[in-house]
């Protein structure tokens, strides 16, 4: 006796990560990018290691947040996607973080204009400015004076 039976063979594309590069980020600037997977059995779940502090990767593949000061440079982010059938694929992605611009009045370069910067200006009172870009010479008259300190106060970073 011969038995014939039809089988349906479901061929699924293998799970893969479509995203091959990430847009660059900037310190202290809101960032958002969505990672894309293909094949496998959706839904996908994402995890990452090696992200700059301030950025998080959601389960849904949304990479977002605000990179902290000090994260400027190249980060190698190790991303893993897992599908509903427990298959998983990983990839390393380069993420470049640009430094935050230094605001006017920020003497010590911490991207915050506050009393620390005023103190540094007052400590240099009476001195000539060092070059045309001296951050302490806010009125650009070539000398560091109390007027520069006053100008600095007006530029305090809001909190
Ligand atoms: Ca500062
Ligand atoms: Ca000045």
* 114-124 pLDDT per residue, tens: 999 999 999 99
Cis peptide before 43 (omega within 30 of 0): yes
Do 79 and 134 lie in one domain? The reply is no
Question: In a 10 Å sphere around its CB, with 0-12 CB exposed, 13-18 middle and 19+ buried, how is residue 68 labelled?
Answer: middle
- The tens digit of pLDDT for each residue in 34-54 reads 999 999 999 999 999 999 999
Residues 91 and 154 both lie in one domain:
no
Residues with CB under 5 A from ligand 1 (ion): 106, 108, 110, 112, 117
Question: 9-38 b/e with 16+ CB inside 10 Å = b?
Answer: eeeeeebebebeebeebbbbeebebebebe
CATH number of the domain enclosing 21: 2.60.40.10
Regarding whether 111 and 91 lie in a shared domain, the answer is no
pLDDT tens-place string over residues 73-132: 999 999 999 999 999 999 999 999 999 999 999 999 888 999 999 999 999 999 999 998
* Pair (88, 20) in one structural domain: yes
Q: Flag whether 139 is in a domain.
A: yes
Looking at all shown ligands, the one closest to residue 125's CA atom is 2
| Same domain, yes or no: 64 and 24 | yes
Q: Which residue range forms the structural domain that includes residue 137?
A: 102-159
Token reading at 129: 């400015």
Distance CA 145, CA 26 (A): 33
149: exposed, middle or buried (C-beta count within 10 Å: 0-12, 13-18, 19+)? buried
- The answer on pLDDT for 9 being more than 90 is no
Q: How far is CA 101 from CA 28, 44, 134, 149, in A?
A: 9, 37, 15, 21
Structure tokens given for 72: 């400027």
CA of 156 to the centre of ligand 2 (A): 17
In a domain, 11, yes or no: no
CA–centroid distance, 159 to ligand 1, in Å, is: 13
Structural domain ending residue among the three candidates 98, 114, 138? 98
84 shares its domain with 119: no
Give Cα separations from 49 to 14, 29, 75, 77, 134 (angstroms). 23, 21, 10, 6, 40
Tell me: do 116 and 85 sit in the same domain.
Answer: no
Query: Using DSSP, how many helices (H) and how many strands (E) does the chain show?
Result: 2, 9
Q: Is 66 contained in some domain?
A: yes
105 Cα–ligand 1 center, Å: 7
Residue 5 in any domain: the answer is: no
* Residue 92 shares a structural domain with residue 112: no
Q: How many domains does the chain have?
A: 2
Residue 60 has, within 13 A of its CA and on its CB side, a CA count of 5
């Amino acid at each position: 006796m011969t038995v014939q039976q039809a089988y349906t063979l479901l061929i699924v594309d293998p799970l893969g990560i479509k995203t091959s590069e990430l847009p660059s980020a900037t310190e202290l600037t809101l960032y958002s990018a969505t990672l894309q997977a293909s094949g496998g059995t959706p839904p996908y779940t994402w995890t990452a290691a090696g992200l700059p502090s301030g950025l998080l990767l959601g389960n849904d593949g949304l990479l977002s947040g605000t990179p902290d000061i000090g994260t400027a440079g190249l980060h190698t982010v190790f991303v893993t996607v897992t599908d509903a059938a427990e298959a998983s694929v990983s990839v390393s992605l380069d993420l470049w973080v640009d430094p935050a611009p230094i605001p006017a009045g920020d003497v010590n370069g911490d991207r915050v204009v506050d009393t620390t910067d005023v103190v540094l200006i007052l400590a240099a009172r009476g001195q000539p400015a060092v070059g045309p870009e001296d951050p302490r010479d806010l009125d650009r008259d070539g000398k560091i004076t109390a007027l520069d300190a006053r100008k600095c106060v007006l530029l305090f970073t809001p909190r």
